[in-house]
Structure 1
Amino acid sequence: MLRMKDKVALVTGGASGIGLSAAQLMAREGAKVVIADFNVNGAKEAAADIQAQGGEAVAVFVDAGDEFSIKEAVEFTVQQYGKLTSLFNNVGLTNLKKDLDVVNVDLDEWDRLMNVNLKSVLLGCRFAIPHMIEAGEGSIINTASMAGFTGDAVRVAYGASKAGVVNLTRYIATQYGKHNIRCNAIAPGLILTPAAQNNMPPDVLDMFAKYNALPYHGEPDDIGYTVVFLASDESKFITGQTIQVEGGHYIANPTVPDFEQFMKSHHTLSN
């Protein structure tokens, strides 16, 4: 049984990484998928790959920092497939060179991240919800981040924007639930997207692995399968939630790995 038969999904940031995984898996489950990305050539390649595997997908350009561009992507989806039932707001930016601590964060970068990471989610929902009401159903999934739940040494703008996504998700769920529209978010931990693999040194990956409860890192499909679940009717009684998909990285007292190492060392010394 196809879990997303008769669904029409718009995926922003769908040309690579988490968005690409979600688009592929939703198409595999029977959804008609529109892949929207600033990298429109990558989106076209992704759509062609889905078509080659027997799925239905098309590509469209989107600039998540531009209101009109987001509206166009939504309208294109409805024109292409007649309706819109699933929206995956998955565009997000981060900048370790400018997004620093509170005293030193570049204020232009703060505004840019709030616009792309948070306002784009608002706009995607703003333009999609009327079509979902017309369709009689809707499931919106927003990409938040574990940075929206924790403090860090840097990336104050990114963390604040993702915290905004978490609460915006609750507002949308509250305001449009009676229209049979659900809204949930996913908060990934470290996911081995191509960008992460290309930009994170092995020592940094090992650092994250040390504090995971599970003995491995997350992969794009770990988020993609969660998106399929939330977009399908299997989750029809779930709304306003943020599902943390992070390998148990944040569930324990942060001293646990160091304490375990201390105990091993102490045991060795006592013998």
Structure 2
Amino acid sequence: MKRVENKVALVTGGASGIGLSAATLLAKEGAKVVIADYNIEGAKEVAETLVKEGYEASAVFLDAGDAKTIEAAVEFTVEKYGTITVLYNNVGGTSLRKDLDVVNMDLDEFDRLVNMNLKSVLLGSRYAIPHMQKAGGGSIINTASMAGFASDQIRTAYGATKAGVVNMTKYIATQYGKDNIRCNAIAPGLILTPAAKANIPQPMLDIFMKFNALPYHGEADDIGHAVVFLASDESKFMTGQTLQIEGGHYLANPTIADTNNWVAEQQAKA
């Protein structure tokens, strides 16, 4: 089934992880896809693989901290395929060594993350919206994070910028809905991308699992499938929303896992 046939999608951060999943699934569901990434060689490799499999895909360089490259990626998409009807603003990041608590964080890192995580969403949308208006509509999808809803000991700038993505999503949806342009966001929890698998030690994964409602962690395709849904006409009456895809990790009273363990211990003693 071609759920996004005849749509033209620009996926930022599409060379790996969640972006790679989204780009691949969009292409397989019929979209013409442009993979934009700082890792241009990786983006080209993804595009070449998709083309060999019979799909339409291209690659372009994008630095989420550089407005000119964001504008250039949108213009490349329009020149290549005639329009842009889907924009997936997916680039984001943090530094666990610099993005610390409020007193100790590196302020230059704060500025860098505002540009990368939040301003890039504004700019991508700013440059894509006029083309979507000409096309009669479109779908903008933003990667937020559960860090935008729940605080932590560190990653202060990351959480603040992702909360900004959630609210900016609502503003875009409100301002351009009458142009048939929808804007929604996805807030992933812990997703086992290759980067996560390589950098998160097993004891930490076990701690996360303890608080999941579901008995497993998320995979990149869990987000990629949601991107296809939001890009497709299946979600045509949905805008301004943030889908929390996090395995129920933030669902319950935070004491429930420890409470269940305590009850089990008491029952074992009885």
Q: TM-score range by the shorter chain?
A: over 0.9
2:95 maps to 1:95: yes
Secondary structure of the 1:164 match is helix
2:197 maps to 1:197: yes
Aligned partner of 1:211 in structure 2 is 211
- The 5-angstrom pairing of residues 115-264 of structure 1 reads 115-264=115-264
Following TM superposition, by how much is the alpha carbon of 1:73 offset from its aligned partner in structure 2, in angstroms?
0.2
Aligned partner of 1:64 in structure 2 is 64
How many residues are aligned here? 270
Distance 2:56 2:210 in 1: 41
Could you list the per-position Cα deviations for residues 173-228 of structure 1 after superposition, in whole angstroms to 9, with x for gaps in the alignment? 00000000000000000000011000000111111111100000000000000000
User: Partner amino acid for 1:100?
Assistant: L
Aligned partner of 1:28 in structure 2 is 28
Following TM superposition, by how much is the alpha carbon of 1:137 offset from its aligned partner in structure 2, in angstroms?
1.2
Distance 1:246 1:56 in 2: 31
User: What is the TM-score with the length of structure 1 in the denominator?
Assistant: 0.99
> Mind listing any 5+ residue stretches in structure 1 that lack a counterpart?
none
Runs of at least 4 residues off by over 4 Å: none
Distance 1:150 1:205 in 2: 18
Distance 2:212 2:48 in 1: 36
- The 5-angstrom pairing of residues 46-65 of structure 1 reads 46-65=46-65
Distance 2:198 2:33 in 1: 28
User: What is the TM-score with the length of structure 2 in the denominator?
Assistant: 0.99
Distance 2:204 2:55 in 1: 37
Secondary structure of the 1:217 match is coil
Aligned partner of 1:73 in structure 2 is 73
Secondary structure of the 1:216 match is coil
Aligned partner of 2:113 in structure 1 is 113
Distance 1:257 1:194 in 2: 28
Following TM superposition, by how much is the alpha carbon of 1:49 offset from its aligned partner in structure 2, in angstroms?
1.2
Distance 2:243 2:79 in 1: 32
Distance 1:53 1:208 in 2: 37
Could you list the per-position Cα deviations for residues 29-59 of structure 1 after superposition, in whole angstroms to 9, with x for gaps in the alignment? 0000000000000000100111121110000
Could you list the per-position Cα deviations for residues 208-258 of structure 1 after superposition, in whole angstroms to 9, with x for gaps in the alignment? 111100000000000000000000000000000000000000000111111
- The 5-angstrom pairing of residues 6-21 of structure 1 reads 6-21=6-21
> Mind listing any 5+ residue stretches in structure 2 that lack a counterpart?
none
Distance 1:187 1:88 in 2: 13
Distance 1:75 1:268 in 2: 65
